[in-house]
Amino acid sequence: MIIKIGGVEMESTPYIQTDLPSNQSVLQQKLQMKLDYLTSIQSAVVAGDDRQVYELLDSQKYDLKIRQKSEAEINRPLSVLVDDMKDELSHHLGQKLINYLSEKFPFFYYEETKLGVFQLYFGNWWDRRHFGILDPLSVKFIFNDDEYEKLVKAVELSARGQRYNAQVIEDTTRANETLQKIVDEQNQRDAERTQLLAQLSASEERGGLFGNRGQSEQREVLKERLKHLDSADAKAQTVPALIAENNTQILNYSKEDTILIYEQRAITDTFGTFEAFQQAVGNLYEEYVGSLAVASEQGGV
């Protein structure tokens, strides 16, 4: 076709049409994968098959640790579909896991403070320590760093026949002895004050207005010594409260040492050694999920 533009004849060119190939089959395949994944998760939850839930949540971790594969594919693009249900899944998985842990780690106690969040405590005795949290999704103890390091240090000291707070208790006890000495020396200070006041009075009477320089300096020395005694007396007034505070600290340190002894005893009674306990903590996923896999192979859930 020929058209005129400004009196000039030009041949028109047809516009190129956008041609999009169909990706319906690919889209359908990906949607079906997501649907199949969610259906599998749902079926595993309904059946109480926690082993399959763990595999579906992190197939790479499952293959590496349970199937002992050297390499494994990551299914994170699918597992992200249930990220907004982690609290519910954690609560669901926590039920069987805590039953298992009550036998393997009988000295731990758990409190679900909100859905799927399990606080971890050590022991059933008084003043038991908050020791961290239990994460059922990763099958992992997340210990409080300070509390765990305290236990590790206590174990090291125990091997040398020492207690964790032995040194601070000794130092605080020595401080109390020093404070008590200030109180015990009250009579001695009173006698010295009487003597100093008498010497000061005699010096002032002898010196009068025309005292020599030596007498003046002597009076200043006496006055400084009296100030020192007054300061000691003032400190003596606070000594009972300070000693009481230190005694409270010593009692708390002693309680902590006792609790640490209970914890070490509970661990050795269960695992034999602290090293075996650490190994069991580190291998918790393999041991627990592995036991679920064995039960599944034997026809259980």
The residues spanned by each domain of the chain are 87-143, 159-205+217-274
Q: Is the pLDDT reported for residue 201 higher than 80?
A: no
Q: How do the residues of the chain divide into helix, strand and coil, expressed in percent and rounded to 5?
A: 70, 10, 20
**Averaged pLDDT for residues 155-163:** 96
Residue 15 or residue 151, greater confidence = 151
**Averaged pLDDT for residues 190-217:** 68
Q: Is the pLDDT reported for residue 146 higher than 90?
A: yes
> Which of 263, 198, 264, 252 is CA-nearest to residue 225?
198
State what percent of residues in the chain have pLDDT above 90: 67
Q: Is the pLDDT reported for residue 167 higher than 60?
A: yes
Mean pLDDT lowest among 8-12, 30-34, 110-114:
8-12
Q: Is the pLDDT reported for residue 148 higher than 50?
A: yes
Structure tokens belonging to residue 262: 């209970």
**pLDDT attached to residue 209:** 45
**Averaged pLDDT for residues 197-210:** 66
**Averaged pLDDT for residues 185-195:** 75
**Averaged pLDDT for residues 26-40:** 96
- pTM above threshold 0.85: no
Residue 67 or residue 197, greater confidence = 67
Q: 244-292 pLDDT, tens per residue?
A: 999 999 999 999 999 999 999 999 999 999 999 999 999 999 999 999 9
DSSP string, 6-40: TTEEEE--PPPPP-PPP-HHHHHHHHHHHHHHHHH
Q: Is the pLDDT reported for residue 8 higher than 50?
A: yes
**pLDDT attached to residue 9:** 63
Residue 221 or residue 88, greater confidence = 88
**pLDDT attached to residue 228:** 81
> 């109480």: which residue's tokens?
48
Nearest-5° angle of CA 86, CA 89, CA 90?
A: 80
Q: Is the pLDDT reported for residue 11 higher than 90?
A: no
69 pLDDT band, cuts 50/70/90, is very high
